[in-house]
Chains A and B, each alone.
Chain A
Amino acid sequence: RKEVEQDPGPFNVPEGATVAFNCTYSNSASQSFFWYRQDCRKEPKLLMSVYSSGNEDGRFTAQLNRASQYISLLIRDSKLSDSATYLCVVNLNSGYSTLTFGKGTMLLVSP
Protein backbone atom coordinates (compact mmCIF):
# COMPACT_ATOMS: atom_id res chain seq x y z
CA ARG A 1 0.00 0.00 0.00
CA LYS A 2 1.34 3.42 -0.93
CA GLU A 3 1.93 5.61 2.08
CA VAL A 4 -0.18 8.57 0.98
CA GLU A 5 -2.44 7.85 -1.94
CA GLN A 6 -4.55 10.18 -4.04
CA ASP A 7 -6.57 9.92 -7.21
CA PRO A 8 -4.33 11.67 -9.77
CA GLY A 9 -7.24 13.03 -11.78
CA PRO A 10 -7.48 15.32 -13.60
CA PHE A 11 -10.83 16.43 -12.36
CA ASN A 12 -12.49 18.61 -14.96
CA VAL A 13 -15.33 20.69 -13.54
CA PRO A 14 -17.27 23.78 -14.63
CA GLU A 15 -17.17 26.99 -12.64
CA GLY A 16 -19.52 26.88 -9.70
CA ALA A 17 -19.29 23.12 -9.27
CA THR A 18 -18.54 21.32 -6.04
CA VAL A 19 -15.62 18.91 -6.15
CA ALA A 20 -14.21 16.53 -3.58
CA PHE A 21 -10.75 15.01 -3.31
CA ASN A 22 -9.92 11.99 -1.25
CA CYS A 23 -6.70 10.74 0.23
CA THR A 24 -5.76 7.61 2.16
CA TYR A 25 -2.71 7.11 4.33
CA SER A 26 -0.98 3.98 5.48
CA ASN A 27 -0.10 4.48 9.14
CA SER A 28 -2.82 4.62 11.75
CA ALA A 29 -0.38 6.39 14.07
CA SER A 30 -0.12 9.31 11.68
CA GLN A 31 -0.45 12.68 13.26
CA SER A 32 -0.48 15.95 11.35
CA PHE A 33 -2.49 16.30 8.16
CA PHE A 34 -2.51 19.05 5.57
CA TRP A 35 -3.70 19.98 2.13
CA TYR A 36 -1.27 21.88 -0.07
CA ARG A 37 -1.92 23.53 -3.39
CA GLN A 38 0.60 23.59 -6.22
CA ASP A 39 0.17 25.73 -9.30
CA CYS A 40 1.83 24.69 -12.53
CA ARG A 41 5.61 25.09 -12.31
CA LYS A 42 5.37 26.67 -8.86
CA GLU A 43 6.17 25.58 -5.37
CA PRO A 44 3.61 23.88 -3.11
CA LYS A 45 1.81 26.18 -0.70
CA LEU A 46 -0.20 25.34 2.36
CA LEU A 47 -3.92 25.44 1.71
CA MET A 48 -5.15 24.28 5.09
CA SER A 49 -4.42 22.03 8.00
CA VAL A 50 -6.83 19.17 8.72
CA TYR A 51 -8.13 18.73 12.22
CA SER A 52 -9.90 15.75 13.74
CA SER A 53 -13.11 17.69 14.12
CA GLY A 54 -13.04 18.85 10.53
CA ASN A 55 -12.46 22.42 9.53
CA GLU A 56 -13.62 24.94 7.02
CA ASP A 57 -11.99 27.93 5.37
CA GLY A 58 -14.35 29.80 3.12
CA ARG A 59 -15.26 27.54 0.23
CA PHE A 60 -12.88 24.80 1.39
CA THR A 61 -13.75 22.07 3.88
CA ALA A 62 -11.32 19.45 5.11
CA GLN A 63 -12.26 16.31 7.01
CA LEU A 64 -10.32 13.54 8.68
CA ASN A 65 -11.51 10.02 9.37
CA ARG A 66 -8.90 8.32 11.52
CA ALA A 67 -10.73 5.00 11.66
CA SER A 68 -10.64 4.71 7.88
CA GLN A 69 -7.30 6.53 7.53
CA TYR A 70 -8.90 8.90 5.11
CA ILE A 71 -8.75 12.64 4.47
CA SER A 72 -10.96 14.68 2.20
CA LEU A 73 -11.05 18.15 0.73
CA LEU A 74 -14.27 19.67 -0.54
CA ILE A 75 -14.26 22.76 -2.72
CA ARG A 76 -17.59 24.51 -3.21
CA ASP A 77 -18.47 27.03 -5.90
CA SER A 78 -15.29 26.32 -7.89
CA LYS A 79 -13.47 29.27 -9.42
CA LEU A 80 -11.17 29.32 -12.44
CA SER A 81 -8.39 30.26 -10.03
CA ASP A 82 -8.87 26.98 -8.16
CA SER A 83 -7.24 25.15 -11.08
CA ALA A 84 -4.14 23.57 -9.58
CA THR A 85 -2.81 20.33 -8.18
CA TYR A 86 -3.90 19.54 -4.64
CA LEU A 87 -1.46 17.60 -2.48
CA CYS A 88 -2.46 15.52 0.49
CA VAL A 89 0.26 15.68 3.13
CA VAL A 90 0.68 13.55 6.24
CA ASN A 91 3.12 13.14 9.08
CA LEU A 92 3.19 9.35 8.92
CA ASN A 93 5.13 9.13 12.18
CA SER A 94 7.18 6.36 10.64
CA GLY A 95 10.84 7.11 11.06
CA TYR A 96 11.69 10.44 9.57
CA SER A 97 9.18 12.52 11.50
CA THR A 98 8.78 14.55 8.37
CA LEU A 99 5.84 15.18 6.13
CA THR A 100 5.03 12.74 3.35
CA PHE A 101 3.39 14.12 0.26
CA GLY A 102 0.86 12.41 -1.95
CA LYS A 103 1.38 12.69 -5.69
CA GLY A 104 -1.44 15.16 -5.98
CA THR A 105 -4.79 15.48 -7.69
CA MET A 106 -5.08 17.89 -10.59
CA LEU A 107 -8.14 20.11 -10.79
CA LEU A 108 -9.12 21.96 -13.94
CA VAL A 109 -11.98 24.42 -13.65
CA SER A 110 -13.46 25.57 -16.93
CA PRO A 111 -15.72 28.55 -17.73
Chain B
Amino acid sequence: DAGITQSPRHKVTETGTPVTLRCHQTENHRYMYWYRQDPGHGLRLIHYSYGVKDTDKGEVSDGYSVSRSKTEDFLLTLESATSSQTSVYFCAISESSGFGDYTFGSGTRLTVV
Protein backbone atom coordinates (compact mmCIF):
# COMPACT_ATOMS: atom_id res chain seq x y z
CA ASP B 1 0.00 0.00 0.00
CA ALA B 2 3.05 2.21 -0.37
CA GLY B 3 1.84 5.51 -1.81
CA ILE B 4 5.34 6.85 -1.47
CA THR B 5 8.58 5.21 -2.54
CA GLN B 6 12.18 6.29 -2.27
CA SER B 7 15.10 5.24 -4.40
CA PRO B 8 17.71 4.06 -3.96
CA ARG B 9 17.23 2.40 -0.58
CA HIS B 10 20.96 2.28 0.06
CA LYS B 11 23.86 4.09 -1.53
CA VAL B 12 27.55 4.44 -0.93
CA THR B 13 29.27 7.27 -2.70
CA GLU B 14 32.59 9.05 -2.65
CA THR B 15 33.27 12.49 -1.28
CA GLY B 16 32.87 15.18 -3.89
CA THR B 17 30.48 13.32 -6.16
CA PRO B 18 26.94 14.52 -6.85
CA VAL B 19 24.13 12.29 -5.64
CA THR B 20 20.42 12.40 -6.42
CA LEU B 21 17.76 10.76 -4.32
CA ARG B 22 14.29 10.25 -5.67
CA CYS B 23 10.93 10.38 -3.95
CA HIS B 24 7.86 9.23 -5.86
CA GLN B 25 4.25 9.42 -4.68
CA THR B 26 1.01 8.09 -6.09
CA GLU B 27 -1.26 10.01 -3.68
CA ASN B 28 -1.36 13.28 -5.62
CA HIS B 29 -0.50 15.19 -2.45
CA ARG B 30 0.55 18.77 -2.87
CA TYR B 31 3.25 18.85 -0.21
CA MET B 32 6.48 16.89 -0.22
CA TYR B 33 9.41 17.05 2.19
CA TRP B 34 12.94 15.84 2.56
CA TYR B 35 14.27 15.15 6.05
CA ARG B 36 17.51 13.73 7.30
CA GLN B 37 17.79 11.74 10.49
CA ASP B 38 20.97 11.49 12.50
CA PRO B 39 21.66 10.14 15.99
CA GLY B 40 21.28 12.91 18.54
CA HIS B 41 19.52 15.22 16.11
CA GLY B 42 16.28 13.58 15.22
CA LEU B 43 14.54 14.45 11.98
CA ARG B 44 15.59 17.74 10.44
CA LEU B 45 13.94 19.39 7.47
CA ILE B 46 16.16 19.90 4.43
CA HIS B 47 13.77 21.24 1.79
CA TYR B 48 10.12 21.04 1.07
CA SER B 49 7.78 21.62 -1.86
CA TYR B 50 4.29 23.07 -1.91
CA GLY B 51 3.63 22.44 -5.57
CA VAL B 52 5.23 21.80 -8.92
CA LYS B 53 8.30 24.02 -9.21
CA ASP B 54 7.55 25.53 -5.79
CA THR B 55 10.14 24.70 -3.17
CA ASP B 56 11.59 26.25 -0.05
CA LYS B 57 14.51 25.68 2.27
CA GLY B 58 14.38 23.97 5.62
CA GLU B 59 16.71 24.25 8.57
CA VAL B 60 19.61 22.23 7.10
CA SER B 61 19.52 23.09 3.40
CA ASP B 62 23.19 23.96 2.83
CA GLY B 63 24.77 21.58 0.32
CA TYR B 64 21.41 20.33 -0.94
CA SER B 65 19.14 21.29 -3.81
CA VAL B 66 15.75 19.99 -4.85
CA SER B 67 13.54 19.90 -7.88
CA ARG B 68 9.92 19.11 -8.46
CA SER B 69 8.92 19.06 -12.12
CA LYS B 70 5.91 16.79 -11.59
CA THR B 71 3.47 16.41 -8.74
CA GLU B 72 4.59 12.86 -8.10
CA ASP B 73 8.36 13.31 -8.02
CA PHE B 74 10.59 15.24 -5.64
CA LEU B 75 14.33 14.95 -6.17
CA LEU B 76 17.02 15.74 -3.62
CA THR B 77 20.52 16.41 -4.93
CA LEU B 78 23.69 16.56 -2.92
CA GLU B 79 25.74 18.79 -5.13
CA SER B 80 29.13 17.59 -3.86
CA ALA B 81 28.73 14.93 -1.22
CA THR B 82 30.63 15.26 2.05
CA SER B 83 31.05 12.82 4.92
CA SER B 84 28.80 15.02 7.07
CA GLN B 85 25.97 14.16 4.70
CA THR B 86 26.13 10.50 5.64
CA SER B 87 22.66 10.01 7.02
CA VAL B 88 19.28 8.42 6.58
CA TYR B 89 17.10 10.51 4.29
CA PHE B 90 13.34 10.36 4.53
CA CYS B 91 10.85 11.77 2.11
CA ALA B 92 7.36 12.61 3.34
CA ILE B 93 4.10 13.72 1.79
CA SER B 94 1.04 15.48 3.12
CA GLU B 95 -2.21 16.93 1.87
CA SER B 96 -1.80 20.09 3.92
CA SER B 97 1.27 21.78 5.28
CA GLY B 98 1.67 21.53 8.99
CA PHE B 99 -1.93 20.75 9.80
CA GLY B 100 -2.20 17.23 8.60
CA ASP B 101 -0.08 14.24 9.27
CA TYR B 102 2.81 13.19 7.11
CA THR B 103 3.34 9.84 5.42
CA PHE B 104 6.96 8.84 5.14
CA GLY B 105 8.85 6.79 2.64
CA SER B 106 11.03 3.91 3.79
CA GLY B 107 14.17 6.01 3.72
CA THR B 108 17.49 6.05 1.90
CA ARG B 109 20.65 5.16 3.78
CA LEU B 110 23.44 7.20 2.28
CA THR B 111 27.07 6.70 3.16
CA VAL B 112 29.69 9.14 1.90
CA VAL B 113 33.21 7.75 2.07
Contacts and interface: CB of A to CB of B under 8 A. Distances in A.
Nearest to A2: B42
A96 B58 contact: yes
Interface residues of B, number: 23
B104 A34 contact: no
A43 B42 contact: no
A43 B5 CA distance: 12
Contacts of B101: 34, 46, 49
A49 B102 CA distance: 11
B33 interface: yes
Interface in B32-54: 33, 35, 40-43, 45, 48
A102 to B, nearest CB: 6
Contacts of A98: 33, 45, 48, 58, 97-98
B42 A93 contact: no
A103 B99 CA distance: 20
A103 B44 CA distance: 9
Interface residues of A, number: 21
Interface string A1-45: 000000000000000000000000000000110100000001111
Contacts of A102: 42
A104 B98 contact: no
A49 B94 CA distance: 14
A96 B106 contact: no
Given A44-B43, A87-B42, A99 B102 contact: yes
A68 interface: no
Interface string B82-110: 00000000100000011111111111000
A107 to B, nearest CB: 16
24 contacts: A32-B99, A32-B100, A43-B90, A43-B106, A43-B107, A44-B43, A45-B104, A46-B102, A46-B103, A87-B43, A91-B98, A91-B99, A93-B98, A96-B45, A96-B56, A96-B58, A98-B48, A98-B58, A98-B97, A99-B98, A101-B35, A101-B42, A101-B43, A103-B42
Interface of B: 33, 35, 40-43, 45, 48, 56, 58-59, 90, 97-107
